[in-house]
Amino acid sequence: VAIEFFSERGFNGVSIRDITREVGIKESSFYKHYKSKDELLDTIFGYFNSELAKAKVPEHIDNEPVLKTINPLIYLNRAFEIFKSYADTSVMAKIYRIAVTEQFRDARARDILIDLYEKSLPLLERYFNLILQQKKATHLNPKILANCYQFALHAMVAEFSLLKQYRQDTAIIEQRIAELNAFFGELIKNF
């Protein structure tokens, strides 16, 4: 219930009473399970981190032989589809949304986002490096290419996730992500 509520109204927008009312217990019962409201958020972020640590990278996202044969545009779109399916439904996506909205107030939220960036960046970097070598485009730095793509993608995914949260239309942002992927796909083809 807390994950649901925090992801919709933010940490400060939800009181202990809001949560316990929904659960069907009194607010005093809450303190039999958590020392404080803050420890509850700790638990939520801790869960996110432990689940993330367990997560495995899909084969077709980080398998060199497979990557060499795949069309760049298809690769990028597939990576985004995985992202999107997460952002649509899962508990993890809700916690991600909490992190996005709390990032300016809470160091733990910020750490989660930084961790995500640092997890996905090497994947992209390896991929772009592979492609650049294939195309012999050694004058371009794969790290910066990955950084640029990732920054743009993350900003858009964060926006996509927020639109989902407020049940607004996500068509425009999905279109923009498709364009971004198309642009990078095109760029890579012409290296």
- Give 11 or 30: the residue with its C-beta nearer to a second copy: 11
Q: Is 36 in the site for DNA (CB under 7 A)?
A: yes
Out of DNA, a second copy, none, which partner does residue 31 contact, by CB within 5 to 8 A per kind? DNA
Place of tokens 């195309």: 135
Taking residues 129 to 168 in sequence order and writing x for each that binds a second copy by CB under 8 A, - otherwise, the string is ----------xxx--xx-xx--xx-xxx-----x------
Q: What is the sign, positive or negative, of the torsion defined by CA atoms of 72, 75, 77, 80?
A: negative
CA pair distance 72, 33, nearest whole angstrom: 49
The Cα-based distances of 191 to 106, 140, 179, 187 in angstroms read 41, 9, 18, 6
**Smallest gap, in angstroms, from Cβ of residue 107 to a second copy?**
10
Length in residues, the chain: 191
In this structure, which amino acid lies at residue 162?
L
Range 1-30, binding DNA (CB under 7 A): 14-18, 25-30
Contacting positions for a second copy (CB under 8 A) = 10, 12-13, 100-101, 104-105, 139-141, 144-145, 147-148, 151-152, 154-156, 162, 176, 179-180, 182-184, 186-187, 190
